């Protein structure tokens, strides 16, 4: 059963260091999205990469709608992976929705985590006006999910350049579009619904692990208001504004992303 968790999530362990650093990809992606950053960490850390069930080379037979009907199912997968590898006091780097997945896991099992690095995080994507601005109206989310159901390929080609930004580097949007399209459409739509309808604001008060919030500039998924809200409500958090544009700085600006993470880890 122990091996099942590692096989289920296509876990790979690289590097030579004593301390573990776990990279968790966001919606519509897989562990290959970290490939530009991993070489910067391999000499110093034990690097753990994995795919959520339904993504990358994970085992699709383990996907069950009930388990993954909210972010806690994904958080449980993360905990099972870390326990199997006997990790403790690990550094967790989560992109987008993975930031909240890591936070939920850290609330339940704080001994597993030393630091949380949140890349383009959002505790809630949907607006709850006038008190909270998440960037999306409920109608926006409904239309996005409907487009995924009606025309999955069309949805991918429409969304990829919008969320990637960096229009002068069209290869980045093309890679993201290919990543979106490689997903199982049914699982991808369910993950999208769980992601965009999630609300982790109430859990923020229970999070205790020191956290770095990396706020991208001109991010259509997690605007600056979201980063400011998260920083204000997440104790022991540090907020840094990046020059990187878009929602995927680990792809578009891996050097800046790496530099900010390393500086945070060495100075805190």
Per the domain annotation, does 130 fall within a domain?
A: no
Question: Which residues form the catalytic set?
Answer: 96, 219, 247
How confident is the model at residue 183, as a pLDDT? 86
How confident is the model at residue 10, as a pLDDT? 97
Full 3-state SS string of 43-57: CCCEEEECCCCCCCC
- Residue owning tokens 């992976």: 81
Nearest to 100 by CA among 203, 22, 7: 203
> Which CATH number do you get for residue 94?
3.40.50.1820
Tell me: the pLDDT tens digits for 150-164? 999 998 898 999 899
Name the band, by pLDDT with cuts 50, 70 and 90, for residue 1. very low
Walk across the sheet containing 237-245 and list its strands: 12-14, 46-49, 20-24, 90-95, 113-119, 211-217, 237-245
- Does the pLDDT of residue 54 top 60, yes or no? yes
Per the domain annotation, does 131 fall within a domain?
A: no
Nearest to 91 by CA among 122, 125, 117: 117
Residue 60 sits at φ, ψ, to 5 deg, of -65, -25
**Mean pLDDT (the chain, rounded):** 95
Which 8-state DSSP code applies to residue 202? G
Per the domain annotation, does 116 fall within a domain?
A: yes
Contact 222, 231 (CB under 8 A): no
For 220, counting Cβ atoms within 10 Å of its Cβ (0-12 exposed, 13-18 middle, 19+ buried), the class is: middle
Tell me: the pLDDT tens digits for 119-134? 999 999 999 999 999 9
Name the band, by pLDDT with cuts 50, 70 and 90, for residue 3. low
CA distance 213 to 103: 12
Contact 117, 90 (CB under 8 A): no
Residues of the chain above pLDDT 70, percent:
99
Residues of the chain above pLDDT 90, percent:
89
Contact 5, 85 (CB under 8 A): no
The number of domains in the chain is 1
Per the domain annotation, does 220 fall within a domain?
A: yes
SS3 78: helix
CA distance 176 to 56: 13
Tell me: the pLDDT tens digits for 90-120? 999 999 999 999 999 999 999 999 999 999 9
Tell me: the pLDDT tens digits for 229-241? 999 999 999 999 9
- Does the pLDDT of residue 2 top 70, yes or no? no
Hey, how many other C-beta atoms are within 10 angstroms of the C-beta on 153?
Answer: 11
Name the band, by pLDDT with cuts 50, 70 and 90, for residue 193. very high
Per the domain annotation, does 149 fall within a domain?
A: no
Per the domain annotation, does 169 fall within a domain?
A: no
Per the domain annotation, does 32 fall within a domain?
A: yes
Tell me: the pLDDT tens digits for 200-251? 999 999 999 999 999 999 999 999 999 999 999 999 999 999 999 999 999 9
* Residue 42 belongs to domain spanning: 2-124+201-267
Per the domain annotation, does 148 fall within a domain?
A: no
């Amino acid at each position: 059963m122990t091996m099942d968790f590692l096989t289920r999530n296509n876990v790979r362990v690289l590097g030579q260091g004593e301390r573990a650093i776990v990279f968790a990809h966001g919606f519509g992606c897989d562990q290959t999205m970290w490939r530009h950053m991993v070489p910067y960490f391999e000499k110093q850390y034990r690097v753990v990469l994995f795919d959520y069930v339904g993504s990358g080379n994970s085992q699709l037979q383990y996907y069950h709608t009930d388990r993954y009907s909210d972010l806690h199912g994904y958080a449980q997968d993360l905990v099972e992976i870390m326990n199997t590898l006997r990790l403790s006091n690990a550094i967790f780097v989560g992109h987008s929705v993975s930031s909240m997945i890591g936070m939920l896991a850290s609330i339940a099992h704080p001994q597993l985590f030393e630091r949380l690095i949140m890349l383009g995080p959002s505790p809630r994507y949907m607006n709850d006006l006038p008190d909270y601005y998440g960037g999306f109206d409920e109608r926006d989310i409904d239309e996005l999910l409907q487009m995924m159901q009606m025309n999955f390929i069309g949805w991918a080609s429409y969304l990829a350049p919008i969320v990637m930004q960096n229009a002068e580097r069209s290869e980045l949007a093309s890679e993201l579009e290919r990543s979106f399209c490689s997903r199982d459409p049914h699982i991808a739509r369910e993950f999208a619904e769980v992601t965009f309808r999630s609300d982790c604001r109430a859990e923020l008060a229970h999070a205790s692990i020191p956290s770095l919030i990396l706020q991208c500039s001109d991010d259509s998924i997690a605007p600056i208001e979201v980063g400011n809200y998260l920083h204000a409500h997440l104790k022991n958090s540090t907020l840094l504004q990046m020059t990187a544009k878009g929602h995927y700085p680990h792809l578009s600006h891996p050097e800046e992303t790496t530099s900010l993470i390393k500086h945070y880890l060495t100075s805190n």
